[in-house]
Amino acid sequence: MTVTVRPSTDADLPAIAAIYGWNVLNGLGTFEEVPPDAAEIGRRRATFLARGLPYLVAERDGVVLGYAYAGPFRLRAAYRYTVEDSVYVGPDAVGLGVGKALLAAVIAACEALGLRQICAVIGDSGNAASIGLHAALGFERKGVFPDMGYKFGRWVDLVWMQRPLNGGGSREPDTPGLELNGV
C-alpha cells in the first residue's frame, strides 16, 4: 500500500483524535484512559510544533491512517538533544506499513534538526508490533520497567528503546538542540 507522509495540519485534528482515541480505549501503547478531544490534541500538537519538532500524518486517498511525532524526552536543559517518538495507527491500517513510514520520517526529521538521540517508551512488554517496528528502524532495547501502569485491569510494563542520531554521543553537538526554556 502506498501512503503519503506529510506534516499534519489543523484540518487533521479530528482524524488524529479519532485514531488516538481508539488506541486509548483499545490498546496499551498509551497509558491514558480517557481519550482527549480534538481541541486538546491540537493544544498538545502546538507545543511540539512550537519547538520545531515533527508532527506527521500518513494518508492514502485523503484519509489519515496514522500519525507520529517527536517530543522532548525530558524538560531539563541537558536533554535538549534527545527526543521521544510516538506512533499511532488507526485500526484499519495496522500491519500495512503505515507505522514504519511514519517512524522513518520522524527519524529523518529529527536527524535534520541535529538531534542526537531518539527513544521510545513502549507500553506493554507484549507489544510485539511496536517493539518490532522500532527494532526494524535501528532502535535497541535498553530495558523493561515492570508494572509501571495499571490499565484494563492489569499491570503494564514499559519497554525502553533507543536509537542514536547523527553519531549519537560520539562527538560534541553541532547545533543548539531543542529550546526547553519556559516550560
The residue segments making up the domain with residue 42 are 4-170
Q: Which of 154, 175, 129, 115 is nearest to 31 (CA)?
A: 154
Q: Is residue 179 part of a domain?
A: no
Distance CA 34, CA 123 (A): 16
Q: How many C-beta atoms surround the C-beta of residue 4 within 10 A?
A: 12
Place of cell 507500553: 123
For residue range 80-117, list pLDDT tens digits in order. Answer: 999 999 999 999 999 999 999 999 999 999 999 999 99
pLDDT tens digits for range 28-74: 999 999 999 999 999 999 999 999 999 999 999 999 999 999 999 99
- The answer as to whether 175 is a domain residue is no
CATH code (residue 35): 3.40.630.30
Other CB atoms within a 10 A radius of the CB of residue 183 amount to 9
180: in domain = no
> Grid cell 519538532 — which residue?
53
Does the residue 143 lie in any domain? yes
Domains: count for the chain: 1
pTM of the model: 0.96
Cα(71)–Cα(119) distance, rounded to whole angstroms?
A: 10
